[in-house]
Amino acid sequence: MTPPTRTPKPHKSLALILSPYHVGLPHHRVGAGPDRLAPALAAQLASLLPFNAITITTLPAVHASAEGEMGRTFALLTHLSRAVAAAKARGAFPLVLAGNCCSTVGVAAGLRVAEEISKKGDATDDGLGFVWIDAHDDLDTPDTNENGYLDATAAAMLAGGCFRRLLATVPGHVPRGLAGRFAYCGLRDVTALQRGAVRDAGVDVVWGSTEQRVDFAGELRAVLRGRGAGFGSRAVVHFDLDSIDQSVGHANEFPSFGGLLEEDVLGVMGVLTEEGAIPPAAITVCSFNPDCKDGDRVADVAIKGVVKFVEGLLARGILVPE
């Protein structure tokens, strides 16, 4: 069922939500990314928004009783769902700086909670489509994963392909059909098995390439316009920083060539917020380990991209500070 096209109610403020954890461990590996990005990003956002239109919240650490990295991860998704729902309830646009990219699963869950509240329990179709800016497909399941990295299952979690019982503990989470409502941008670092999973999922892809220059912004625009209202009435933007080309810097321990350069990041963020685009509902910025090679350069490009995104929200009237 295609959700109706609608003009969203403008957001009155920006909620900067920090999840500085890697599988629940504070400031470890990609868990160090949010605290590296937040000060410089907040300073630039302060030049765009009134001081009282930005709130900064850091998710609490999970309880010591959480069992291992899986227990900690799903406990954090619960924290994040609640934080996103609370932000939406007060009319704030959620901008999430997270360690792990499975955080977008918690963001989507929180948006659904907010939708259920606004519709008094009726959120049969919350209208969410997903733009997944990432070098990796994240469609692994525990049976197909080869490196033990839990984030490799993030999109599979979203689709209900794994961890269903654990995900049922996350407020607002529902398995989602990805076909026609999910688009990759910058995907490239995949195995033959993973490429097959992407094909079988029926999703759109703007592939990265080491052989030719890719017009990431133009191709993404064509994908989203081609899908039209069928993609959804609101877009969740997932910005994994390893989508950025390795020549800029190593966003984390899994860099690769063929990705987005600075001009591509700015172009894609412009496409996501331009007039006529599906209105964004939230953005997750994730998977940044500042201790990897040229972390400062990666951070600079990421911050410029997020600022461009927020400028677009303001220009579109999606964000209208009071």
Q: Rounded to an integer, what is the distance from CA 287 to the centroid of its chain?
A: 10
The C-alpha atoms of residue 114 and residue 171 are separated, in whole angstroms, by 10
> Is 148 within the bounds of a domain?
no
What's the order of all strands across the beta sheet hosting 92-98?
54-58, 13-19, 92-98, 280-286, 234-240, 128-133, 182-187, 204-207
> Is 8 within the bounds of a domain?
no
Per-residue pLDDT, 299: 99
31: Cβ contacts below 8 Å, ≥ 6 apart: 20, 21, 22, 25, 99, 100
Question: Token pair of 83, please?
Answer: 């934080």
The C-alpha atoms of residue 178 and residue 232 are separated, in whole angstroms, by 11
Per-residue pLDDT, 2: 43
Q: How many domains does the chain have?
A: 1
Q: What is the mean pLDDT of the chain?
A: 95
**pLDDT tens profile 49-107:** 999 999 999 999 998 788 899 999 999 999 999 999 999 999 999 999 999 999 999 99
* pLDDT at residue 4 tops 70: no
**pLDDT tens profile 230-242:** 999 999 999 999 9
> Is 309 within the bounds of a domain?
yes
- Domain containing 62: what range? 13-140+153-316
**pLDDT tens profile 240-261:** 999 999 999 999 999 999 999 9
> Is 146 within the bounds of a domain?
no
The C-alpha atoms of residue 307 and residue 275 are separated, in whole angstroms, by 17
Other beta carbons within 10 Å of 300: 15
Sign of CA dihedral 27, 91, 181, 246: negative
194: Cβ contacts below 8 Å, ≥ 6 apart: 136, 137, 139, 140, 144
* Banded model confidence at residue 119, pLDDT cuts 50, 70, 90: confident
3-state secondary structure at position 2: coil
pTM: 0.96
> Is 233 within the bounds of a domain?
yes
Task: Give the chain's end-to-end CA distance (angstroms, integer).
Answer: 36
* pLDDT at residue 8 tops 80: no
> Is 321 within the bounds of a domain?
no
* Banded model confidence at residue 5, pLDDT cuts 50, 70, 90: very low
Write phi, then psi, for 130 (nearest 5 degrees): -130, 130
Strand partners of residue 130: 182, 236
For the domain that residue 208 is a member of, what is the CATH number?
A: 3.40.800.10
The C-alpha atoms of residue 129 and residue 231 are separated, in whole angstroms, by 6
Question: Token pair of 308, please?
Answer: 């461009």
**C-alpha to C-alpha distances, 36 to 118, 131, 299, nearest whole angstrom:** 35, 24, 8
Per-residue pLDDT, 124: 67
> Is 6 within the bounds of a domain?
no
Per-residue pLDDT, 192: 97
